[in-house]
Structure 1
Amino acid sequence: MRSRPVLVFDGDCGFCTSAVRVIERRVRPRCDVTPWQRADLAALGVSAERAQHEVLWVTPVGRVYGGAQAVAKLLLSAGGVWSVVGAVVTLPPARWGALGVYRLVADNRHRLSRTAAACAPPDRRSDRA
């Protein structure tokens, strides 16, 4: 069993990678961070389809949170003021707003990145050799 949670993100997405780097520097969540492309998804209990769709937070016992709730969990893990923000994001109506904002950003991340082709949804990616 792992001793720390794991944050799984899309390592091919420039926006996602930049966001994770900022989070690591500024928020400092207490977790391991790995792109889904390098993760042992089977050991984490996560499908590649889900990992492509949303950021994931996998607890040491294997509970998986996705999207806005994964972000809330990483904020909670950081402690201090970040944990207060994370706690607020888990409660309605803030949770509903966070889900909407997360989906809006996730669905449009290809527009927010310099590596737009890599960030496009899998059905819109061109063949990359």
Structure 2
Amino acid sequence: MSPVRRTRPVLVYDGDCGFCAACVRFTERRLRPDADIVAWQSADLDALGVSRERAEHEALWVAPPGTVYGGAQAVARLLLRAGGGWAPLGAALTLPPLRWVAHGVYRVVARNRGRLPGADGACSVRG
């Protein structure tokens, strides 16, 4: 099945992870991006054009044309979409060498999310 054409981007995150859910609550409260935010467990992944394996591995930003950004680049796109003071940070995270640093930091956080604030037992299952 081909991805559905969307008009708004979608942030896909791990709804079983307490740390990830806490990050989403912060995002909704403070950043307020013009985007849909959905846990991969309740998302129509086929319609979004992403695999379950990828959604389990990293946060995903699905742009309206169907382009999918993962990990640190998903965060960068989220910050860009939030606008205001967040947009310059998002833009910076898309450019080398900050892009490379952001990727490394994202991977470290993902591997250790079970030890971070808001974490629960589900956080350490994947990473």
How much identity, in percent, do the aligned residues show? 63
| 1:1-129 superposed matches below 5 A | 1-112=5-116, 115-122=119-126
Give RMSD over aligned pairs. 1.4
The TM-score normalised by the length of structure 2 is 0.91
Q: What is the count of residue pairs matched by the alignment?
A: 123
Q: For the residues of structure 1 that align with 2:31 and 2:63, how far apart are their CA atoms?
A: 18
Q: For the residues of structure 2 that align with 1:86 and 1:92, how far apart are their CA atoms?
A: 12
Q: For the residues of structure 1 that align with 2:78 and 2:55, how far apart are their CA atoms?
A: 16
Task: After TM superposition, give the deviation of residue 75 of structure 1 in Å.
Answer: 0.4
Residues 115 and 76 from structure 1, CA distance in 2 versus in 1: closer, same or farther, beyond 3 angstroms? closer
The TM-score normalised by the length of structure 1 is 0.90
Structure 1 unaligned blocks of 5 or more: 124-129
Q: For the residues of structure 2 that align with 1:10 and 1:86, how far apart are their CA atoms?
A: 21
Residues 64 and 46 from structure 1, CA distance in 2 versus in 1: closer, same or farther, beyond 3 angstroms? same
Residues 114 and 79 from structure 1, CA distance in 2 versus in 1: closer, same or farther, beyond 3 angstroms? closer
Task: After TM superposition, give the deviation of residue 97 of structure 1 in Å.
Answer: 0.9
